Structure 1
Amino acid sequence: MDVKQFCEGIKLDPNAQRIIYEYQMDEWQYQAYKRQFYANRYSFFENVKQSERYRQLFLYLFVRFAVDAYEEYQRRGIDDGIYFDTFHDIQIWCMTCKRDYDEYGIEEYNWLQEHIQLRLFRVGRLQFQPFPFERTLEVEGRTLFNNQLVLNVHIPSGEPLDPRSVEESFERASTFFRGITPIFTCHTWLLYPELNRVLTPDSNILQFQKHFIIYDVDHESRQAEERIFNQLRADYGQYEEHTYLQRSAKAFLQAGNKLGCGYGIKLNPIR
């Protein structure tokens, strides 16, 4: 795997590819960054952020780290499809950086380090992250214990949340993560129960909710506003109305309601 193969494999924007190909860095300097990343990622983050164009530097380094991670993917027998799908997040967040900061780069460095360290994988439509459950909870007669390993679910942007692709993703993840009981947890605005007052019954989001038992709700979270409108405003009237979801969510908020987050669990049947 080389940098060009990688960039093409994750469908990185040509303008972002140009930045990487033209970036000037000695090999000894790259190896020093890499050692610091694996030794102490927080120190690494602060070091990189001292650079004038640190978002471009994060993009360059994470692409090279991901290329280096390919060897470990091969050693574990993980196919190239999952490798490229997982690191396609670099393209997603690079374009988010362009939208928010008007430059190709990476601002979500703390999130993408999970991919680099092989702690998160995209399997089909969804991403999965083995994670210790942080409480003891009884759900439908089954007990989840504090620190029990579960599969935390994340929903990358960019594609419809098609019910069939979601179902296939859960099925593939149950096989991919051998040795982990297929119990899925998810914390997201997509699981907020009040969305049934915002969306039509056939909404993909509401179909996604049906996979989960919602065991807790955070009414104060504003993640939904961030995701729907790509920004937070104190005055709801300033939100855009380009899509049905934006129009419906804006009206819901202006009527004095809140859009929070839900915490959900999906339990596979015991066999």
Structure 2
Amino acid sequence: MNEQAIKKALKYYHIDNPDYLEKCLVSLKELNKNSSLKKEILKIQERMLEDEDYLKSLWNKKDLEEILAKSKITFLTNIILLSCFETLKENKRKFSKKVKQRIKESLTNDIDIRGYESIRTSQLLWGMYLTKSRIIEIGRLQYELSFKNPLTDKKENVIKIHIPRGKNLAIKEVKRSLTKAPKKIKKYFKLENPQYYCSSWLLSEEISNIVDDNSNIKQFTKLFDIKKGEECTSDILNFVYELKECSDYHKLPENTSLQKKIKKCLLEDKKFFLGVGLLKK
């Protein structure tokens, strides 16, 4: 994690913004002044790249958030993700080139679109996940080779479906992607007739109960046999409202019908749970 590596990473992701570079270098300088913090950050970074279960656990733990907040280094999330670009370069030779663009979005959208000082921890974690994963992107969906069945936790080669944010979940585009997937998965992952799983707030039974029958979300859920997973209110705050957390649900925006319906449920103290779905044959 040094100045040269940060500059190479910015060039690799085509982030040509002098202000962004300056903030990275200032944050890097502050980090280098604190040897114990840097050692801790490098250890966390290494574990995130090597241990999938550890990376997943950070989504539900506040440990990393607390370390980052305590450091008071504004662009720390950015430089952690940027300094892993060599891992992505190696992965990209084998898998999806589109993932590079998705990580660039993780590095910039919170700042350029949402006006935050730096990227949120959620964007760091998602960027790290994409960096280390075996993922290909086919049209509207992403497909990840995973070695564990998410319903049974048994070791098994399966495909996990991800839904990149930013576009409507048009069901025609989803089905077109699913139709093309087997050929690509055989080519890149050497896997034939795998089971496809998706774990998402979009498959939440509670969400399904409040959306219209003809909605894209409802049509998407019909593609899967679904079991209830863990509580996912934080995911909904992140993806639907673009918030890290919310201490007062009365202040949630109502810019869309989905935001309005979810807000009503939250104010009634209702919980939301992930749906873990097996794609129907």
TM-score by length of 1: 0.69
Separation in 1, partners of 2:151, 2:275? 16
| 1:97/1:105 contact within 8 Å kept | yes
Alignment of 1:232-243 (within 5 A): 232-243=245-256
1:92 CA displacement: 2.8
Separation in 2, partners of 1:55, 1:217? 28
| 1:20/1:59 contact within 8 Å kept | no
Aligned residues between the structures: 235
Instruction: Tell me the alpha carbon deviations over residues 31-81 of structure 1, each in whole angstroms, 9 at most, x when there is no partner.
Output: xx9xx79x93459999x9779432332353244543x33xx644x4x5xxx
Separation in 2, partners of 1:40, 1:217? 28
Aligned to 2:226: 214
TM-score by length of 2: 0.67
1:265 CA displacement: 0.6
Aligned to 1:133: 149
Q: Which 5+ residue runs of structure 1 have no aligned equivalent?
A: 26-32, 137-144
Equivalent AA in structure 2 for residue 257 of structure 1: K
Alignment of 1:50-129 (within 5 A): 52=73, 53-63=75-85, 65-66=87-88, 68-69=89-90, 73-74=92-93, 76=94, 82-83=96-97, 85-98=98-111, 102-105=116-119, 107=121, 108-129=123-144
Separation in 2, partners of 1:40, 1:126? 28
Aligned to 1:30: none
Q: Which 5+ residue runs of structure 2 have no aligned equivalent?
A: 1-7, 29-38, 56-63
1:154 equivalent among 157, 162, 167? 162
Separation in 1, partners of 2:139, 2:49? 33
Separation in 1, partners of 2:208, 2:133? 36
1:6 CA displacement: 4.6
1:130 CA displacement: 1.6
Structure 1 pair 21–171 and aligned structure 2 pair: CA distance change class (3 A): farther
Asked if 1:195 corresponds to 2:207, the answer is yes
Aligned to 1:163: 171
Separation in 2, partners of 1:87, 1:122? 11
Structure 1 pair 152–103 and aligned structure 2 pair: CA distance change class (3 A): same
1:134 CA displacement: 4.6
Structure 1 pair 116–163 and aligned structure 2 pair: CA distance change class (3 A): same
- Identical amino acids, percent of aligned pairs: 20
Alpha-carbon RMSD: 3.8
Separation in 2, partners of 1:161, 1:203? 9
Instruction: Tell me the alpha carbon deviations over residues 149-195 of structure 1, each in whole angstroms, 9 at most, x when there is no partner.
Output: 11111212111111122112222332222233331111111001232
Separation in 2, partners of 1:134, 1:204? 24
Structure 1 pair 163–43 and aligned structure 2 pair: CA distance change class (3 A): closer
| Of 96-105 and 224-233, the range deviating more from structure 2 | 96-105
